[in-house]
Amino acid sequence: MEVLVDDKPIVPGPVASGTLGEVLAFIQSDHCSPGRIVVSVHCDGDLVAADDMAEALKKPAADFDRIEVFTGTKEALVIDVMTQAADTLDDSETESRRVADLLTQGKTAEARQNLVECLRAWQQVHDAVAKSIGILGLNPEAVTVRDQSLLSAVSKPRDVLLQVRDALLAGDDVLLADILQYEFADVTDTWHAIVTRLRQEAEDLREKNPAAI
């Protein structure tokens, strides 16, 4: 098994026979300089996607011939993740309007199929926001977004997502269309504000710490 960190080979030592997760923990503790974290992993040439990471971490590291680990600063990681989140929001906003139109036209099956993709995108944004708050070490009650705490702002999209879930479970397509048409614009707007604030927090931290580039 070959292990590289930022293109430099290392010896995983005592965790060589462990799981991929144990190897990454070893790299984070012993091979990452202060302020740097593991940001991506390639196994046998393939990037381990975020959705697959939890399962991959459980696998024996010896299952792979080559493990490539790339590190970066937490600030750069959050900036990149929030940029991707903003793009995801733009795409999902267009798609949610399309779903609402399909529901209004009575094309329920197609609408629900497309809604699954929207829900997946919204969950990705929610997870990205939650992880970024943790990575930056922010207090969600102390940071404000549009004159409210970050904690309060994050809860609003979640509340509307619960309404979407309830409408789906009830099979109420009229209510579902109304939520997507009239309430989700505010939700995506709130999410954009959160994403912008987190990106700004990361950029401010990077400016204060020139090494975080």
Rounded Cα gap, residues 14 and 157, in angstroms: 44
Spacing of C-alpha 133 from chain mean position = 11
**pLDDT value of position 92:** 87
Domain with CATH 1.20.120 in the chain: 76-208
Q: How many CB atoms lie within 10 A of CB 128?
A: 19
Query: Do residues 213 and 76 make contact, with C-beta atoms less than 8 angstroms apart?
Result: yes
In the chain, the amino acid numbered 159 is: D
Token pair 């139109």: residue: 101
Which CATH number is associated with domain 76-208?
1.20.120
Whole-model pTM over 0.85: no
Cα separation, 29 vs 27, in Å, equals: 6
CA-nearest of 128, 122, 203 to 160 is 122
Say which CATH topology domain 2-72 has. Ubiquitin-like (UB roll) (3.10.20)
Q: Where in the chain is the domain with CATH 3.10.20?
A: 2-72
**Burial classification of residue 134, based on how many CB atoms lie within 10 Å of its CB (0-12 exposed, 13-18 middle, 19 or more buried):** exposed
Both structure tokens of 120 = 């997946």
The pLDDT averaged over each successive group of 10 residues in the chain (213 residues) is 93 87 92 86 92 90 94 91 92 88 90 87 89 91 90 85 88 90 85 94 83 51
What local confidence, expressed as pLDDT, does residue 210 receive? 58
